[in-house]
Structure 1
Amino acid sequence: MNFPIPVPSAATLPMMDPFGFARSAFDYWRDAVERSVLFMDVMRHRGNQYLEHIEKTKPSVLGFETEVLMDGRELPRPVNYELMRVLPPAGIEIDPQRRPFVVVDPRAGHGPGIGGFKPDSEIGVALRAGHPCYFVGFLPYPEPGQTVEDVVEAEVAFLRCVIERHPTTAEKPMVVGNCQAGWQIMMAAALEPDLFGPILIAGSPLSYWAGERGKAPLRYTGGLSGGSWMTALLSDLGNGLFDGAWLVQNFENLNPANTWWTKQYRVFANVDTEAVRYLEFERWWGGHVVLGGQEIQYIVDNLFIGNRLSTAQLMTSDGRRIDLRNVRSPVVVFCSRGDDITPPPQALGWVRDLYEGVDGIIANEQTIVYCVHDSTGHLGIFVSGSVSRKEHTEFTANMDYIDVLPPGLYETSISRADERADAGLIEREYLLEFTPRTVAELDREIGHQPDDEARFATVARISEINLGLYRLFLQPWVRALATPSSAKWMRRMHPNRLGYRLLSDRNPLTLSLPALAEKVRADRHPVGEDNVFRRAETLVSEQIARGLDTWSDLRDKASEQLFMSIYGQPLLQVLVGLRADGQPHRRRPGTELEHRRFIQRRQAELHDRIAAGGSHEAKMRSIIYVLGGAPATDERNFKRMRASRAELEPSLKLADFKNLLREQFFILKHDREAALEAIPTLLKGQSAAQIDTHLNQIEHVLAASGELSAHAADRFKRIKSLFHRARPNATAVALTSPGAAPQSPSAAMNEPASPAPIAKAAEPRQTVTSGLPVSESQGAQASDTGRMPDGDKPAAAPGRRAPRKPRNA
């Protein structure tokens, strides 16, 4: 009987051969020594790069050539920001008629340029799509007395400059705000809504108390440090300036495994291939900037701790309220579940803070679109090449479609074209789809915890008390001791800065390192991955990282439990005055009586517009109805509409055509049955020949997108019946869509030729107005039935509109 003879693997052969084992040990030792020399040389390059970068007047990591158009230092209220035009690289042609893109970089401790760090970036994607691009960057030091409000006003001035440079462009600029720039852009859009086109906020926190238990421990930092008095102390020690390196250190402390081990070990283990990528990123990561003491105090007090932006409690110095409900441009929120700096609850919670339901969103004419990535980290949202090639490319390509979406709340999903049954009908690699959502559905994504509000409100009160005590007793002494020289040395000695300086050519201990590294590169002996000692090194590294992760998890859990136990005490909440008046712990604008009455007025205004218009509105409404009814919608429907403009509305400009499309979307979503039954009223006064022409145009547009589905064909039959009823002296023929209320033949014969007008019929008009609000019930219906823009619930009988129940928003 034959038994198989075990054959040792290649990895275990050296262990069985004493000489082979020794050779493996020697090869590994030699490789480790060589890698150590090369690693130290990479660190030396990093230090030299840091020193060279910070000594520049305008340090930036932007990967594109630019020209300065406006210098914020020359504005009436000077700031250290600049507006730059991005010059297209060779081989890229820009269409000056296309919508301009403005990318605003975050000023959160690092220098500018991350939004255009490499070709596969937000700016790179927009340039390849042919859009004129502009970049808003900043200088390392603020102007004396610079405030957050000054920065917001400067960004408004920059946007006006961009608009003036494109007088013939129909669309307003699209503005991209990364991280901390996102809330600045939203503040500017709330103050000057008419200047903005679609807004993309990527990884931007807007609701600072929101968060999921067991995740995002950064939101507890303010409470565990006793409030914002520490921020004031650091600003005073900095002689009125706050070192951005402290913000970077907070970021790094969230992931000690990566900060203290993994990032450096990755370079050490792959020093022959990883050095270039590492140094490119470190040029931005180590380029710390400085904020003004007034700026950072405003940010911490009003946003991070006070949470006043998402509750419409911020006021400008001239008395204007900053209310995000005033933003009229579509807002696209891009966040990630893998982001521990701006988790989805903080990126999306502002919707929940401002609105109790989709009714309020629609009444304020807001279109809010959100996309939640599954895994990418905070920096990956606006740095990762794969994210730029997928998500940012789709956002850029779909902005015209987002611009015509009716007001409401939508979630986007991105799927690969080659994984879909209709792959042949998709032009690009991915397809972006939009699905209507309700605030209740969004709430499940946010994980709202009402009990947390009392805790964070307590933190806000404690912060005010501690800050007042610091300003009364300590601040005069600290300011008396701080000087420009002491502040400069404190910045230099910050641990995050000092590490760069110590490993640079300015350290005499590194003088022999360049020659030694060159000698190693000339005679390199890398060891293979199958070396048993190299494998052991990898295992040890993984254990170190895993141990640091475990310690980090325990630290975060302990911090959360400590925060919850301290600020959840009823006695402490009473002592700071939270339970004295029985009022909510924070303002909820969506529940206020004034807002509910506003919603009712807007719904009534829209209902009065259902039967206003002429043949333009009738044709567009009909096409939207036939093409609607799917669980989600995508850009292909908009392209069909846009391609039909030359035939349907040749005299309309593209911007007016988009307004017409948006308004009819809007009306169908508000009350589908009333909108359809008003079509004969819109066609009043048209001859039979004109009506036939209109129907032929509609049929031609529908046929251009391929054969209609059975569902769409049934809808088109109903449209035909409504157009036939509009013929002069015609007898109505009831051709209702599937699911319509059944009618007896006698009822059909007695149906009037055209329905009683819902509002006074208007003469056919040439001008187009923008959309008006729709109701929460219809928004919920669109989501619950999975229809966009209209559902397929049983229709009311033709010529009658189902009675509407009065509701309180």
Structure 2
Amino acid sequence: MNSLMPTPPTEALSFLDPFGIGRAAFDYWRDAVERSVLYMDVMRERGNQYLEHIEKTKPNVLGFDAEVVMDGRALPRPVNYELMKILPPAGVEIDPRSRPFVVVDPRAGHGPGIGGFKPDSEIGVALRAGHPCYFIGFLPYPEPGQTVEDVVEAEIAFLRRVVELHPESCEKPMVVGNCQAGWQIMMAASLEPDAFGPILIAGAPLSYWAGERGRAPMRYTGGMTGGSWMTTLASDLGSGLFDGALLVQNFERLNPANTWWDKQYRLYANVDSEAERYLNFERWWGGHVVLGGEEIQYIVDNLFIGNRLSTAQLVTSDGRRIDLRNVRSPVVVFCSQGDDITPPPQALGWVRDLYDGIDDIIANEQTIVYCVHDSTGHLGIFVSSSVSRKEHAEFTANIDYIDVLPPGLYETSVTSAAERDDAELLERDYLLEFKPRSIEGLNRDVLHHREDDDTRFATVARISEINLGLYRLFWQPWIRAVMTSEASRLIRRLHPIRLGYKLLSDRNPLSVPLPVLADWVRQDRHPIDENNLFRTLEKTVSSQISHGLDTWREIRDQSIEQAFLTVYGQPLLQTMVGLGGDAHVHRRRPGSEPEHRRFIERRQDELRHRVAEGGSHEAVMRSVIHVLGGSPTTDERNFKRLRASRAELEPSSSLADFKHLVREQFFILKLHREEALDAIPALLKGESAEAIRDYLAHIDHVLAASGELSERSSKRYEHIRALFAQAIERADPAERRQALADLHDRVERGAKAEVAARDEVERLLAAPPARKSAAESKEHQPRRNGGKRTSRRSGKKD
């Protein structure tokens, strides 16, 4: 088609158009027409892909081959979930003794598979690390009568099946829950804590009232719709089924600039290179599923509006309380400041809701680790390749270290090796560090809590119950009487989101010419240069449209927030629903049950009697934990060397024994620090002076893994050296003299080195800065070899 267009001679164009504006306009017009044809053809392919996907019995977007291991429809309480084993791709070897990984996909309107969407995904990272991987997905339609409790029980059954399939692995499965799957696996872990290994919840909301004013507009949705009665109405219009497209529509409304313009313009502007990526994502984004009416009502009433999960107010139908404090596995919370669906306060607010302070977390023997990304969006948390290669890869590589961390609250940060002075000590391109945190610091840096907002959300919960009762009394019987299954299916088919896919597909007769026109364009494509004047103007106009939609979104969100705060902040309204008075507490922290308090007291008494029990292994571990407890950060290097040292000291011990030893010695130090340290010489009783000296060398080796010790840690280590010296004094006299001399020499060398380093620093500070030669500067830079990091010391690739 384009070859038939006559092209004027270049000389004539230069004479008639000396500034080239006319030529630039013609080139832009031709390119714009061609891009329009290709864009419409991509949309046609999107529609065909959508129709093909939804017509499958078990649609998913997994990028890996899988086989069904367990079908949830065969359980005593059937659910539309299934457990699949991921088959490793060619060239990937799996170690059957490694800890199994289980990824649970969110059921929030879209179909399953997002956790294994592409090679750089949560599943892909775990496979490359050699872990057996499993995937818990779901089918498009729920089983009749299926409830949230049934889904939770099914996930517990799936995990027990995974444990049975890997008897050679002594570690419990690591479970990854994305978005809505996060609160499901936390509920399951609180009911059956013994079935779970470490838990990673990515972008998962657990505390729904939490949030910062000016952000997180989704938390106001329940109040602006008058409660959950509209959820019941939508289920009644669906004949007992809730259309997941409604949830997707809510997500899209959060960012109108991306939904209505940016996403489509990005495809149009780069249609030659963007089509494949766009179609792959749309295959998941358009794979809408259906939820049971009873399921979504439970979720909206108890979680979104009632906020009962993070305050231990949920009770199962058989009388078991769902208390997240029962979780015994380490919990890793991954969230992002750029996430407007699950902002950090909603992902981390449950910690504040359940615990008074760090001592409370430790008393419950819980390890909570959180990582806050700076900018990635909600989907980027578990879809972005850059996030998978960095954060998820580090979580996977350090899962054993996370599993052995003493109870407490920790913040993690991922730093690049290129940004560190000790890059030659690192084994990978990134390092995951752990910093102890307090509840007060979490409130200050992340949660931004306001007590008066709790009263407003509690008012919404009461009004929701009233409106739901009125709807069920007056309107529900009439709607259920007139709705039929055929009418419900027609309503789902005519949903605007679904209709947009169907109208631009081969089933629309008007789209017949599109593939022919697109082939003509591809055969003689005329892309223009990015410097074209009119292409630049196009980008400018696009940017202005996007900024305009963002401005409208900000005005809309501010108006909604102000209306919510004004309406539900009225004292008269709060009093009318029974929430008046300043003394009323609306977010009650659940108290500790008497049984749990007695358990903690028995545990403390047991540890008190174990202070002086044990031997050299307990002494070494106690010493290392004490010294590292004085450091503001710790990382994987200490763990690896400590684990290697224990393997040398006690080759027959397992990783589980090692973890038990670490946790027990931590608790002993936490509860009885002075007595535990004073008992170290007694723990080394019977050991030779040479053996004690070797133990101290092991400790030196472990502590040197992360570079220089802090001043506080150095003082603690001096105390440990003195305790080991006391143990040496009790050894054989001849060995004792030699060991004490060696220990004295080591201390003297350390002191002299410290003095020399301090003198050198003072000299450098006093002297004028000397300019380095180019050769010297180059010599001190870390060398790179084919993209691999090269050690400064050996010159070999790490």
TM more than 0.5? yes
Determine the structure 1 residue equivalent to 2:777.
none
- CA drift of 1:27 comes to 1.0
Determine the structure 2 residue equivalent to 1:783.
none
Determine the structure 1 residue equivalent to 2:273.
273
Amino acid at match of 1:344: P
Determine the structure 1 residue equivalent to 2:507.
506
Distance 1:376 1:177 in 2: 18
Determine the structure 2 residue equivalent to 1:8.
none
Distance 1:254 1:414 in 2: 29
The 3 A distance-change label for structure 1 pair 680 and 336 is: same
- Check the 8 A contact 1:363/1:598 in 2, yes or no: no
State whether structure 2 residue 479 is matched by structure 1 residue 478: yes
Which of 693, 696, 699 is the matching residue for 2:697? Answer: 699
1:447-481: CA deviation from partner (whole Å, max 9, x where unpaired): 01111100000000000000000001100111111
Amino acid at match of 1:693: A
Determine the structure 2 residue equivalent to 1:345.
345
Determine the structure 1 residue equivalent to 2:618.
617
- CA drift of 1:516 comes to 0.8
Determine the structure 2 residue equivalent to 1:748.
none
1:216-251: CA deviation from partner (whole Å, max 9, x where unpaired): 100000000000000000000000000000000000
Determine the structure 2 residue equivalent to 1:804.
none
Alignment of 1:107-506 (within 5 A): 107-444=107-444, 445-506=446-507
- Check the 8 A contact 2:17/2:23 in 1, yes or no: no
1:48-99: CA deviation from partner (whole Å, max 9, x where unpaired): 0000000000000000000100000000000000000000000000000000
- Check the 8 A contact 1:356/1:590 in 2, yes or no: no
- CA drift of 1:393 comes to 0.3
- CA drift of 1:722 comes to 2.0
The 3 A distance-change label for structure 1 pair 596 and 453 is: farther
Distance 1:255 1:16 in 2: 47
Distance 1:674 1:446 in 2: 38
- CA drift of 1:615 comes to 3.0
- Check the 8 A contact 2:190/2:323 in 1, yes or no: yes
Determine the structure 1 residue equivalent to 2:647.
646
- CA drift of 1:558 comes to 0.1
Distance 1:449 1:289 in 2: 36
Distance 2:290 2:362 in 1: 41
- Check the 8 A contact 1:590/1:596 in 2, yes or no: no
Distance 1:234 1:398 in 2: 44
Distance 2:506 2:43 in 1: 10
Distance 2:170 2:696 in 1: 26
SS in 2 for 1:403: helix
Amino acid at match of 1:504: S
Distance 1:729 1:706 in 2: 28
The 3 A distance-change label for structure 1 pair 23 and 717 is: closer
Distance 2:602 2:449 in 1: 30
Determine the structure 1 residue equivalent to 2:792.
none
Distance 1:666 1:369 in 2: 18
Determine the structure 2 residue equivalent to 1:531.
532
- Check the 8 A contact 2:102/2:175 in 1, yes or no: yes
1:188-237: CA deviation from partner (whole Å, max 9, x where unpaired): 00000011110000000000000000001000000000000000000000
The 3 A distance-change label for structure 1 pair 647 and 248 is: same
1:284-303: CA deviation from partner (whole Å, max 9, x where unpaired): 00000000000000000000
Amino acid at match of 1:699: A
Distance 1:585 1:463 in 2: 16
SS in 2 for 1:589: coil
- Check the 8 A contact 1:619/1:694 in 2, yes or no: no
- Check the 8 A contact 2:463/2:577 in 1, yes or no: yes
Distance 1:703 1:162 in 2: 38
Distance 2:198 2:592 in 1: 27
Q: Which moved more, 1:599-608 or 1:318-327?
A: 599-608
Distance 1:714 1:587 in 2: 42
Q: Which moved more, 1:591-600 or 1:68-77?
A: 591-600
- Check the 8 A contact 2:692/2:728 in 1, yes or no: no
- Check the 8 A contact 1:101/1:173 in 2, yes or no: yes
Q: Which moved more, 1:717-726 or 1:26-35?
A: 717-726
Distance 1:257 1:204 in 2: 24
- Check the 8 A contact 2:642/2:702 in 1, yes or no: no
1:409-458: CA deviation from partner (whole Å, max 9, x where unpaired): 00001110111111000000000000000000011111011111000000
SS in 1 for 2:112: coil
Determine the structure 1 residue equivalent to 2:720.
719
Alignment of 1:745-760 (within 5 A): none
- CA drift of 1:647 comes to 2.0
Distance 2:232 2:58 in 1: 27
Amino acid at match of 1:419: E
- Check the 8 A contact 1:589/1:595 in 2, yes or no: no
Determine the structure 2 residue equivalent to 1:659.
660
Q: Percent identity?
A: 74
Unaligned runs of 5+ in 2: 1-12, 748-798
The 3 A distance-change label for structure 1 pair 497 and 166 is: same
Determine the structure 2 residue equivalent to 1:26.
26
Q: Which moved more, 1:327-336 or 1:168-177?
A: 168-177
The 3 A distance-change label for structure 1 pair 435 and 713 is: closer
- Check the 8 A contact 1:226/1:463 in 2, yes or no: yes
The 3 A distance-change label for structure 1 pair 306 and 714 is: closer
- Check the 8 A contact 1:14/1:21 in 2, yes or no: no
Q: Which runs of 4+ in 1 moved over 6 A?
A: 13-16, 591-601, 727-733, 735-738
Distance 1:681 1:147 in 2: 57
The 3 A distance-change label for structure 1 pair 92 and 15 is: farther
1:339-364: CA deviation from partner (whole Å, max 9, x where unpaired): 00000000000000101111111111
Aligned pairs, number: 722
- CA drift of 1:405 comes to 0.5
Distance 2:355 2:702 in 1: 40
- Check the 8 A contact 1:15/1:21 in 2, yes or no: no
1:656-712: CA deviation from partner (whole Å, max 9, x where unpaired): 1121123223333444433211213434xx3252x5424323314534775985766
- Check the 8 A contact 2:641/2:701 in 1, yes or no: no
Amino acid at match of 1:498: L
When the two structures are superposed, what TM-score results if normalisation uses the length of structure 1? 0.86
Distance 2:458 2:63 in 1: 43
- Check the 8 A contact 1:176/1:202 in 2, yes or no: yes
The 3 A distance-change label for structure 1 pair 379 and 100 is: same
Q: Which structure's residues are more often helix, by fraction? A: 2
Determine the structure 2 residue equivalent to 1:766.
none
Determine the structure 2 residue equivalent to 1:53.
53
- CA drift of 1:724 comes to 4.3
- CA drift of 1:580 comes to 6.7
- Check the 8 A contact 2:68/2:83 in 1, yes or no: yes
Distance 1:29 1:581 in 2: 67
Distance 2:107 2:510 in 1: 35
Distance 1:365 1:720 in 2: 30
State whether structure 2 residue 683 is matched by structure 1 residue 682: yes
- Check the 8 A contact 1:363/1:603 in 2, yes or no: no
SS in 2 for 1:201: strand
The 3 A distance-change label for structure 1 pair 207 and 716 is: closer
Distance 1:150 1:678 in 2: 51
Unaligned runs of 5+ in 1: 1-12, 739-809
1:382-408: CA deviation from partner (whole Å, max 9, x where unpaired): 000000000000000011000111000
Distance 2:253 2:702 in 1: 57
